[in-house]
Amino acid sequence: CVSANPTGPITVGRIRGGVMGDTLARLLRAAGYDVEMEYYFNNAGAQMRRLGLSLQARYLEKLGLPFEFPEDGYQGDYLYDIADLLIEEQGEALADEADSTPFKEFAEAKIFEMIRASLRRVNIKFDSFFNENSLYETGAVDQVIEGLREKGLVYDAEGAVWFKTTDLGMEQDKVLVKSTGEPTYRTPDIAYHIDKLERGFDPAINILGADHQEEYPDVAAGLRALGYDDSKVHVIIHQFVTLKEGGVKKRMRTRKGEYVTLDELVDDIGPDAVRYFILARSPTSHMEFDLDLARQQSNENPVFYIQNAHVRCASIARVAAERGFSMEEGDVSLLTDQKELTLIRKLIELPEIVELCVGELAPHKLAFWAHEELARAFHPTYDEIRALHSDVPEDLARARLKLYAAARIVLARTLDLMGMNAPDVM
RNA sequence: GCGCCAGUAGCUCAAUGGACAGAGCGUUGGUCUACGAAACCAAAGGCUGCAGGUUCGAAUCCUGUCUGGCGCACCA
């Protein structure tokens, strides 16, 4: 499960969890797990209300009517575009609307379209979408409060409803329902995790940004208190991406409209490089994404190194076919050269690596293996071990062609697990 | 003030408590009349922030300290 709220376009800062999660899902599937990638999004609460008010202001602004942009509103230009769309659909019909709800709903729908389109560009596809609102509609949120109340872990004070987490070994009690009557994020979060466990997810894996690091202990406490096994839930916290351009660090703040979008980055360096750059770092690293470096290195970097191995395999297969060579009857027992054996050993390592990545929930290890082990074993061999050369006897040539065909399969599989393309030509 | 995450080559990053701490980029020097040179071969580059401790053995574990990222809400 990955979560990002539909308040704006997917930014470079927020795509890390998506890439990690998608790659992990691919690895889990390869290891035989039945995986469902779920996108949990928050469409309730103050942030979304603020989004609705922001769109309302842009709408009025576009219509040339008096407007008041909310303090703490979302300042990104994308709301102007969405305001245009709204005017296209509704004209001035909403000009006198006092309630911002229709604006919120419109913004949410459009932003969600944008997000899904952006994710698709980097090969991320979710199986299901889960919105927070549904937890209110089904009464799941209320059930959490009642359940905890029955356990004697809830009390009312200062107009709010409190979760007595100090009884569970925590330093402070936490608010479940604000004095406004609106639950805090942690109440639906607990309900959501219960729902997930009830649906039978085991393990359930959450990928969260560092700003959510304090959040899960409360959820886990809630799950335990209500008799659920919180050990089934795994949480991967990834640190933030800071962006650098022209030697200057840029902070990314969606609300202020200060960000670089995923789309811009994909336009810049391509989807494969985006995925690899993000994937080839452990989640704990506070990664610095240097845009200039990424542009410069996309000419000569690990992405191309790995993909070029696949290209070379495709190329030799092409040439072999032109010269009428068949690899079908290649006798692999003829492959006795040290370099050949090294490559073969590396090729058959892939299942172990998949197991390793799954066992440690560490997709970044696949990225390192692909580059430093697999491609690194391939190129020197390919350079030296010629197959289609007049000095090479035909039966040995066929055996070598078979080796490179095998390498092609492993390379394609590895790239696919990383959500990257395996091109035949570059 | 408290908590979480980190600090490793010039830069971006790896390394289940175990061999001489490894890659890429950058730098230097060699390889194309043979399947794609976006490749290969070789070299230089390190007191793993700092100080202690545990251990046969520490980048890794513990304590302290400095620097940075993120939290510490009746935001999510």
| Interface predicted TM-score (ipTM) of this complex, two decimals | 0.91
Average pLDDT, chain A: 88
C1' (B39) to CA (A348) span, angstroms? 23
As a whole number of angstroms, the distance between CA A85 and CA A386 comes to 59
Its pTM stands at 0.91
Which residue did the predictor score with more confidence, A109 or A331? A109
Nearest residue for B34, CA–C1': A389
Looking at chain A, the whole-number percentage of residues with pLDDT higher than 90 is 53
Determine the pLDDT at residue A297: 59
Most confident of A1-5, A335-339, A387-391: A335-339
Q: What is the mean pLDDT of residues A272-301?
A: 80
Q: Which stretch of A95-109, A384-398, A406-420 has the lowest confidence by average pLDDT?
A: A384-398
Residue A1 in this model has a pLDDT that exceeds 60: no
Distance of CA A116 to the CA centre of its chain: 12
Nearest residue for B69, CA–C1': A286
Q: What is the mean pLDDT of residues A316-321?
A: 90
Q: Could you say which nucleotides of strand B lie within 7 A of any protein CB atom?
A: 3-6, 11-15, 22-26, 34-41, 68-76
Nucleotide nearest to A209 (CA to C1'): B70
pLDDT in tens, A228-248: 999 899 999 999 888 777 666
Determine the pLDDT at residue A247: 64
Determine the pLDDT at residue A2: 63
Nucleotide nearest to A311 (CA to C1'): B36
Strands (E), A203-274: 204-209, 233-238, 242-245, 248-250
Which residue did the predictor score with more confidence, A58 or A251? A58
C1' (B12) to CA (A287) span, angstroms? 9
Closest CA to A242 of A258, A264, A263: A258
As a whole number of angstroms, the distance between CA A57 and CA A38 comes to 33
C1' (B60) to CA (A367) span, angstroms? 22
Nucleotide nearest to A212 (CA to C1'): B71
Residue A257 in this model has a pLDDT that exceeds 80: no
Decide: helix, strand or coil at residue A154: strand
